[in-house]
Amino acid sequence: MTDMTALDALFATMPPVVAMQIRASHFDGERLQLEAPLSANLNDKGCAFGGSLVSVMTLAGWGRVVLGLEAVGIKAEVYVADSQVRYLAPLFEDLRASASLAAEEDWGVVLNRFRERGRSRVMVDVAMADASGRIVATMSARYAILNGHE
């Protein structure tokens, strides 16, 4: 599953993701971008619902880790362990989240730890931006990577 079509097929198995109309729009091997229409994620003020922002950002980080593992042939379960979110401005446009490994992460070390221990963790940074590129929310999240038998 190293392409976005396969990731979207996986999203189609998750009812909340389907309801929010989240889809993968770009993956270059380092950064995954997800999008969702504002119309499916509105709050009472006519802007994006905060829960939708964090959901799309969480899924972008998760998808980035899943695609990274698939690219090297590792089958594992990926879970969000914890996250810190900052809401910077309301978003009155479609949702666009971009996820990449945190700058301090070494993917090779993450993979070696998983191969040796059957578990690992990785920090992912995610930004939600409007069409002009203005950041409206950020998330730093730690994802657990576990052997499927745990």
pLDDT tens figures, 28-49: 999 999 999 999 999 999 999 9
Residue 44, judged by CB atoms within 10 A of its CB (0-12, 13-18, 19+), counts as: exposed
The whole-number average pLDDT for the span 112-134 is 97
Residue 3 scores a pLDDT above 80: no
Residue 5 scores a pLDDT above 90: no
β strands within the chain, DSSP E: 23-27, 32-36, 77-87, 95-101, 119-129, 135-146
The SS3 of residue 141 is strand
pLDDT in tens, 64-85: 999 999 999 999 999 999 999 9
Structural domain that includes position 38? 4-146
CATH number of the domain residue 37 falls in: 3.10.129.10
Here the tokens at position 127 are 């930004």
Total count of domains within the chain: 1
Distance CA 65, CA 7 (A): 12
